[in-house]
Amino acid sequence: MTDSSLPAPLEAILLVGGRGTRLRPLTLVTPKPLLPTAGVPFLAHQLARARAFGVRRIVFATAYRAAMFADAFGDGSAFDLEIEYVTEDTPLGTGGAIRNAARALTCPPDAPVLVLNGDILSGHDIRAQIDLHLSGDAAVTLHLTEVEDASRFGCVPIDEDGRVLAFLEKTPNPVTNRINAGCYVFRRSVIDSIPPDQVVSVERETFPTLIESGDRVLGFADSTYWLDVGTPAAFIQGSSDLVRGALASPALPGSPGDSLLLPGAIVSPEAKLTGGTVVGTGATIGAGALIRGSVIADGATIAPGVIITSSVIGAHATIAAGNVLRDAIIGDNANIGPNNELTSGARIWPGITLPEAAIRFSSDA
């Protein structure tokens, strides 16, 4: 499918209204879709990929800290996109948010509208999904992927022709490991049929109703890279995968590799950075530090000899000598005194000062 066969301009809705509570304290100040990920705000990767697949105009469906999105992306010209912003005064659910954002669409009733979730990394072919939607004359076409444990997601069985048979939201005994991957192509008129100004779930209401009424709901199933970055471990994995090139991104500010250093980062030649680690602008890494698969935000200071694995160090946080961090989240401006061990999902809130050897999992302080 070429750009010339796509509607002009192809429009999308980007759902970015969530509060990101599972990622606290990172999201106390910054919305999840704006968290630094492989050197840029998370959404920069989605915007760049959407543009590469023919999207020209995107409506942001915002709620939590809505003004920050316009501050970050403006009119979209940096991505060769046109961006509009629509804000929910009260939470409306996924369907309500889509319907609310549709006020800013300009396309006709029969046009396809791409709907993206602001916390998904995906390597699937968006253009092929749109092509299937158009050739199948579908009301909605869902991107589907396979996971080991489908009970945490919307389970979506399809027939041999790709038609969706049911939409089973988070069932404890899934009938298939094929799940809703959070990227949809709607016919514009279907969005307009969602009741306005009401709380509506597309997963629990819109999709099941369409299926029961006999509308064509198709599944675009594939097995490419896919990740929901809603948890700290997944967020760190997503950033590391982008840095290493496990998922290609036009927005990556550098070449894929074991690490990514942003301009102004100061890293000792005796430090070792591996596993897709990113070091932010103005951050300092001391000699002998070992950092693997982690996100070191702008202005952070890591003392010599510190060991950090699969962790996030917030902006302008300080990690003193003798620290071992594994699977930890350190908030902005926190100060971790010497000889602490922070592991197994430890979270330190912004601005907290932790005294020397305050938390240990071994006795050799």
* Residues taking part in catalysis: 170
**In contact, 260 and 254? CB cutoff 8 Å:** yes
Torsion sign across C-alpha atoms 210, 212, 213, 214: positive
Q: How far is CA 103 from CA 70, 96, 106, 141, in A?
A: 18, 12, 8, 21
Q: Name which of 98, 62, 91 is nearest 185 in CA terms.
A: 98
Check residue 170 and give left, alpha or beta (phi > 0: left; psi -120 to 50: alpha). Answer: left
User: Regarding beta strands 272-274 and 353-354, do their DSSP bridges make them parallel or antiparallel, or are they unpaired?
Assistant: unpaired
Nearest 10 degrees: Cα torsion 254, 256, 257, 259:
50
Q: Amino acid identity, residue 282?
A: G
Cα separation, 348 vs 253, in Å, equals 29
Cα separation, 114 vs 205, in Å, equals 19
First-last CA distance in the chain: 62
Q: What is the DSSP letter of 102?
A: G
Q: Name which of 270, 258, 103 is nearest 191 in CA terms.
A: 103
Cα separation, 334 vs 60, in Å, equals 32
Name the 3-class secondary structure at 191. helix
Cα separation, 1 vs 96, in Å, equals 31
Cα separation, 90 vs 110, in Å, equals 29
Cα separation, 173 vs 171, in Å, equals 6
Cα separation, 121 vs 44, in Å, equals 11
Rg (CA), the chain: 22
